[in-house]
Copies of this chain bind each other. A is one copy, B any other.
């Protein structure tokens, strides 16, 4: 399969968190020209964190995309000069005050390469303990909750956890070699 030829890229919008880029393309075989819009933004991480007694560490916050209070796995944006693993450890600590003893990469994926340029790295951090207070950005209000696997299953089933990234993180954990809870149906 041949790729479209990118003839030109034009940044048509930019703000603090994202840019919109138009890629002006021509088809490799047919005489078709097409403008593809893509959103350029930072790479992300997301974290499944378990306490020493195997409770999931989750965060609750108001999300403006749907104007709902959302229950999620901790996550955030990789900063300049940071690697994804450092970011996962930092975000967990800042959002929740917890720190773990082991970290494992579950999966690194393209968020949505149809329209976005960035990756997301999912980590599992095990044996976490609360070691500090939260250290939140000015516009973050985050409530930390812990939940055992039965409570997480229930929140997945009844839609209380309904953020696709959190659901992906939990699914990847349950399908990974690190899953401590046996076969799960969600």
Binding site for B on A (CB under 8 A): 1-4, 6, 12-13, 15-18, 20, 22-23, 25, 27, 32, 34, 36-39, 60-70, 107-117, 120, 138-139, 141, 143, 162-165, 167-168, 171-172, 174-177, 179, 183-186
Contact = CB atoms under 8 A, between A and B. Distances in A.
A70 B113 contact: yes
A37 B16 CA distance: 9
Per CB-CB distance, the 8 closest pairs between chain A and chain B, nearest first, are A171-B171, A63-B113, A65-B113, A13-B13, A66-B113, A36-B64, A109-B164, A34-B139
Given A172-B167, A172-B171, A1 B38 contact: no
Give the number of times this chain occurs in the complex, counting copies: 2
B38 A109 contact: no
Contacts of A60: 1
Contacts of A175: 171, 174-175, 184-186
Nearest to A18: B37
Most buried by B among A6, A108, A168: A168
A106 to B, nearest CB: 9
Contact of A39 (B6, B18, B139, B177): B18
B1 A109 contact: no
